[in-house]
Structure 1
Amino acid sequence: MKFISIVGTNSNDSTNRKLLQYMKKHFAEKAVIEVWEIKDLPAFNEPEDKLAPVGIAALSAEILAADGVIISTPEYDHAIPAALKSVLEWLSYTTRPLIDKPVMIVGASHGSLGSSRAQAHLRQILDSPELKARIMPSSEFLLGRSLDAFDEEGNLIYGDKITELEECFAEFSLFVEITNQLVKDHRFKANQTKLFSWEHLADGGLN
């Protein structure tokens, strides 16, 4: 499987980046995980032509090509960072690559709650009609006390959190397989229905 992971902040020193880099290394034998930065992407400014800027278009293409998406978000004032919200606004207004795309949400914070309220906020946003992502249900990975969570090599040192992350990732991998198959079957049946309706009308016209 190929996943794209998004660092949900423009901070240069983020433990959410460390978390995704750790996941890329730790799960290397199970999936290819690309880590994408949003810190150099422009702030959302509604374009008249509805065309995405180059960086947003590149991110969109990677999302479309991936089997699933992992977003790691910090928590700022009980919500996701403005930089992440801006990226989602670009995607929803232009290319809409997250429609039916499986998404796993993770988060790291300096406090003990591990970005729980920001993750709830992100779920709400991703469920909006313009984004309509397929969010893994009933599963959160919350990394609290994240400043002390990694060693000098970037390895996660909380044993219980490693086990929890492995369980969440295994669930997400299965969720991706099932979701993508369901979406594929649904689209096939929808296309077959359209084809059947057209042929039925054509036959009716000929008879």
Structure 2
Amino acid sequence: MNYLAIVGTNSHVSTNRMLLQFMKEHFKEDAQLELYEVRDLPAFYEVKDDQVPEAVAALSAKILQADGVIIATPEYDHAIPAVLKSALEWISYTSQALTDKPVLIVGASHGSLGSSRAQAHLRQILDSPELAARLMPSSEFLLGKSQAAFNAGGTLIDEDKRAELDEIFREFMLFTQLITKLLSEKVTIKKDKKYVWQTQEA
């Protein structure tokens, strides 16, 4: 499996980034994880003359090529960070590359709840019509008090949390296989994909 692992923050020091880095190493025998930084994207704006920023087009290509996507989000004021929302707006407005893509949400926070409200917020966004991602049901990995969750080598310390992450990741690999099989057998009528602005009246 090849997964794109999106760091959902522009913070240079982030336990969500540490979580994805740990997952990349911990699951390297089972899957390849490529970390992606949303902080490298411009803030969302309505483009003119179909001029999609190069970084946005590159992100869309990475999503389309991946078997699935993993998003790690912190929680800011009970919601996802603006930089992550902006990245999703780019995808929604342009390529819609997340449509039918298997997605796993994980999250770390300094508090005890482990970004639970932000994860619920992100699920709602990803379920919107022009994103329409395939979210694995009944799955949450909530890492609370994350500043003390890793040792100096970046390893997740708590054995119970590691076991929980192992189970969720195994389920996500199976979920990815099932969704891929389902979509391959689905009879669809192919249509030329148009950007949103190409279908709007002047």
Indicate whether the TM-score tops 0.5: yes
Q: Give the number of aligned pairs.
A: 191
Amino acid at match of 1:175: F
1:39 shift after superposition: 1.0
Q: CA deviation at 1:51?
A: 3.8
Deviation at 1:52, TM superposition (A): 2.4
> CA separation in 1, counterparts of 2:96 and 2:50?
11
User: Residues 51 and 94 of structure 1 are in contact (CA less than 8 Å); yes or no, is this contact kept in structure 2?
Assistant: no
Unaligned runs of at least 5 residues, structure 2: 192-202
Query: Hey, what's the Cα distance between the residues in 2 that align with 1:133 and 1:2?
Result: 17
Report how far residue 48 of structure 1 moved.
2.3
Deviation, 1:50, is 4.1
Q: SS state of the match for residue 85, structure 2?
A: helix
Q: CA deviation digits over 1:127-176, x for unaligned, max 9?
A: 00010000000110000010000111100001110000000000000000
TM-score (norm 1): 0.90
Alignment of 1:149-164 (within 5 A): 149-164=149-164
Deviation digits for residues 30-49 of structure 1 (CA, Å, limit 9, x no counterpart): 00000001112100011123
Residue pair 1:52, 1:95 contacting (<8 A) in 2 also: no
1:4 aligned partner: 4
Worse-superposed segment, 64-73 or 40-49: 40-49
Q: Partner residue of 2:124?
A: 124
**How far 1:24 moved relative to its partner?**
0.2
Scaled by the length of structure 2, the TM-score of the pair is 0.92
- Deviation string for 1:58-89 (max 9, x for gaps)? 11101100000000000000000000000000
Partner of 2:195: none
- Amino acid of the structure 2 residue aligned with 1:118: A
Correspondence 1:45 to 2:32: no
Larger Rg: 1
Structure 1: distance between partners of 2:188 and 2:64:
20
SS, match of residue 60 in structure 2: helix
| Higher relative helix content | 1
Q: Within 2, Cα distance between the matches of 1:49 and 1:141?
A: 41
Matches within 5 A, 1:60-99: 60-99=60-99
Identical residues among aligned pairs (%): 64
Task: Let me know the Cα RMSD of the aligned residues.
Answer: 1.3
Aligned with 1:39: secondary structure? Answer: helix
Partner of 1:204: none
